[in-house]
């Protein structure tokens, strides 16, 4: 299995430190708002990679942190006259709700920054003892000149970085690129005791401390969006390798940006849709298919047309899944199972996914499978349950368990709620009929008009009243 490693800039054979275990750390959200559909791209692609590793038999220890103390959270708490805890708690719950709706598998652990303060302090103490950190009046900084390989992930050298960056003038730092490990408390801001006085952790050190605590000193995979390569991940390497004196990460995976009008979707530019907004219009399966159709490293431009097209694609797989479920409820009628090379489709799916998680190709394999199964079904009358069982198994193994673009259980849920809806409409039709008999036309028309607003059209005839749904 090959993975493109941002560190070496080539595809490398994937050999975890301790197979079949895989340690996988992903930089998670800062919980000051609902996450946008650009963040969702990174979360979903990380989820697909994790699910594929599990498909391959790896035991994946998947950790995603939650940054629950940060300048943005503090600002939001001031704007809303709420505590930082209230803001963080509210948006952490929203985060869990949204990832569940997007069918992202829960992480094994979601450590929060505020519960990791002691681990952060311990790591800064080690960096200080080893001479990598310096304290200026309660602010502790990392001295990047002390780490000889600084820049090795982003491939830049310090001079270039200094020249190219617009680092704010800060008299207390030795170098403009030095970054903060411990921020001295400001009046009215949340703070914790430390050997350097009251304060709070810098953002980069949180990930170094949490990944080490939960996954160990060397982790197999570390992932995040492209924007995190520099400075966040560069700084994580500098901190972790200076403190632990071993390689920090074997494989660095970075996700391309979701753009909108070809510009990065981001909170600060204001050009975003929240995942919630998009979920109110499109199914989680369609959103996931939309993402899976582009390779995780490439850019992807947001497009409602492509989301609608993805919804139609999901519908195709769903139609086959429903047909399969229906056939499996009947007794076996076919004499023999049809000749169909299921193994070939598994092999093709694995071949493309083994090549740096080529999800667009994997999607193509699934649609090819659906097309050929449909063809076979339409051309043969007697097909036995074994065949349908195999079709179901393939779709579950690949489309459901790896890509998450179909969900067998919800086929029933939707059906069930549709049946109840039909019964409720019929009940209203009967109530309306009774009202008409009592000459209460105002109320009977009200029922008809309100149903119409909901897209349900009543059709009166001599035989009675029927209904249809607006297309």
Residues that bind ligand AMP (CB under 6 A): 27, 29-30, 38-39, 41-42, 224-225, 227-228, 255, 257-258, 264-266
257 binds, among Zn ion, ligand AMP, none (CB under 5 to 8 A by kind): ligand AMP
Q: Which is nearer to ligand AMP, 273 or 340 (CB)?
A: 273
Smallest distance, Zn ion to C-beta of residue 14, A: 21
SS3 379: helix
Phi, psi dihedrals of residue 337, rounded to the nearest 5° = -80, 140
CA distances, 51 to each of 189, 211, 350 (Å): 40, 20, 13
Q: Pattern 253-272, binding to Zn ion, x per CB under 5 A?
A: --------------------
Distance, in Å, from the CA atom of 344 to the CA atom of 346, rounded to the nearest integer, reads 5
Smallest distance, ligand AMP to C-beta of residue 266, A: 6
39 binds, among ligand AMP, Zn ion, none (CB under 5 to 8 A by kind): ligand AMP
Measured N-to-C along each axis, helices 408-437 and 441-453 cross at an angle, to the nearest 10 degrees, of 160
38 binds, among Zn ion, ligand AMP, none (CB under 5 to 8 A by kind): ligand AMP
87 interacts with Zn ion by CB under 5 A: no
Outline where 193-303 has alpha helix (H): 203-215, 234-244, 275-281, 284-292
Residue nearest to ligand AMP (CB): 225
Outline where 83-137 has alpha helix (H): 84-101, 117-129
30 binds, among Zn ion, ligand AMP, none (CB under 5 to 8 A by kind): ligand AMP
| Non-local CB neighbours of 406 within 8 Å, separated by 6+ positions | 285, 314, 317, 318, 321, 395, 399, 400
Distance, in Å, from the CA atom of 123 to the CA atom of 92, rounded to the nearest integer, reads 26
Q: Which is nearer to ligand AMP, 5 or 39 (CB)?
A: 39
Q: Which is nearer to ligand AMP, 194 or 294 (CB)?
A: 294
Among positions 195-214, residues that touch Zn ion (CB under 5 A) are 207
264 binds, among Zn ion, ligand AMP, none (CB under 5 to 8 A by kind): ligand AMP
207 binds, among ligand AMP, Zn ion, none (CB under 5 to 8 A by kind): Zn ion
Smallest distance, ligand AMP to C-beta of residue 202, A: 14
258 binds, among ligand AMP, Zn ion, none (CB under 5 to 8 A by kind): ligand AMP
> Do residues 101 and 279 make contact, with C-beta atoms less than 8 angstroms apart?
yes
Q: Which is nearer to Zn ion, 242 or 370 (CB)?
A: 242
CA distances, 311 to each of 231, 282, 322 (Å): 37, 7, 16
Torsion of CA 100, 104, 105, 110, to 10 degrees: -80
Q: Please choose, from the candidates 15, 30, 25, the residue with its C-alpha nearest in 3D space to the C-alpha of residue 208.
A: 25
227 binds, among ligand AMP, Zn ion, none (CB under 5 to 8 A by kind): ligand AMP
> Do residues 24 and 221 make contact, with C-beta atoms less than 8 angstroms apart?
yes
Q: Which is nearer to ligand AMP, 41 or 173 (CB)?
A: 41
Which of the ranges 21-29, 171-179, 298-306, 382-390 carries the binding residues for Zn ion, by CB under 5 A? 21-29
User: For tokens 């949490």, what's the residue?
Assistant: 210
Instruction: Give the β-pairing of 249-255 and 219-225.
Output: parallel
Q: Which is nearer to Zn ion, 61 or 327 (CB)?
A: 61
Q: Which is nearer to Zn ion, 235 or 294 (CB)?
A: 235
27 interacts with Zn ion by CB under 5 A: yes
Q: Which is nearer to ligand AMP, 140 or 229 (CB)?
A: 229
Binding site for Zn ion (CB under 5 A): 27, 207
């Amino acid at each position: 299995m090959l993975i493109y490693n941002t560190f070496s800039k080539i595809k490398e054979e994937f050999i975890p430190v301790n197979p079949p275990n895989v340690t996988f750390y992903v930089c998670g959200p800062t919980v000051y708002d609902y996450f946008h559909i650009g963040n969702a791209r990174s979360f979903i692609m990380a989820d697909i990679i994790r699910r594929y590793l599990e498909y391959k038999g790896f035991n994946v220890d998947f950790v995603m942190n939650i940054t629950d103390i940060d300048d943005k959270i503090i600002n939001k708490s001031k704007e809303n006259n709420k505590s930082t805890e209230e803001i963080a708690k509210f948006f952490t719950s929203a985060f869990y709700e949204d990832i569940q709706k997007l069918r992202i598998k829960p992480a094994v652990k979601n450590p929060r920054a505020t519960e990791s303060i002691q681990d952060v302090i311990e790591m800064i103490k080690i960096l200080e003892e080893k001479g990598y950190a310096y304290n200026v009046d309660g602010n502790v900084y990392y001295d990047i000149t002390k780490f000889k390989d600084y820049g090795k992930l982003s491939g830049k050298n310090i001079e270039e970085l200094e020249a190219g960056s617009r680092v704010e003038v800060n008299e207390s730092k030795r170098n403009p690129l030095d970054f903060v490990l411990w921020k001295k408390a400001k009046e009215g801001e949340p703070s914790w005791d430390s050997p350097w006085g009251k304060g709070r952790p810098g953002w980069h050190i949180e990930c170094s401390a949490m990944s080490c605590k939960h996954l160990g000193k060397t982790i197999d995979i570390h992932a995040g969006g492209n924007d995190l390569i520099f400075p966040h991940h560069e700084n994580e390497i500098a901190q972790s390798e200076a403190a632990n004196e071993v390689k920090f990460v074997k494989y660095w995976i970075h996700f391309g940006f979701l753009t909108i009008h070809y510009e990065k979707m981001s909170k600060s530019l204001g050009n975003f849709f929240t995942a919630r907004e998009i979920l109110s219009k499109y199914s989680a399966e369609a959103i996931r298919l939309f993402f899976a159709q582009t390779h995780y490293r490439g850019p992807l431009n947001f497009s409602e047309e492509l989301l609608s097209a993805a919804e139609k694609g999901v519908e195709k797989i769903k139609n086959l899944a429903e047909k399969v479920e229906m056939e499996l409820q009947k007794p076996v009628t076919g004499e023999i199972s049809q000749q169909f090379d299921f193994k070939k489709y598994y092999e093709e799916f694995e071949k493309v996914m083994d090549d740096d998680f080529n999800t667009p190709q994997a999607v193509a394999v699934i649609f090819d499978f659906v097309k050929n199964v449909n063809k076979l079904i339409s051309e043969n009358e007697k097909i036995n349950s074994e065949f349908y069982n195999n079709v179901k198994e393939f779709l579950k193994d690949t489309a459901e368990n790896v890509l998450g673009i179909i969900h067998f259980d919800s086929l029933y849920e939707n059906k069930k709620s549709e049946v109840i809806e039909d019964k409720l409409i019929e009940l209203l039709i009967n109530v309306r009929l009774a009202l008409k008999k009592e000459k209460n036309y105002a109320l009977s028309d009200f029922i008809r008009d309100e149903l119409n607003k909901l897209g349900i059209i009543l059709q009166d005839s001599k035989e009675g009243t029927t209904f249809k749904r607006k297309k």
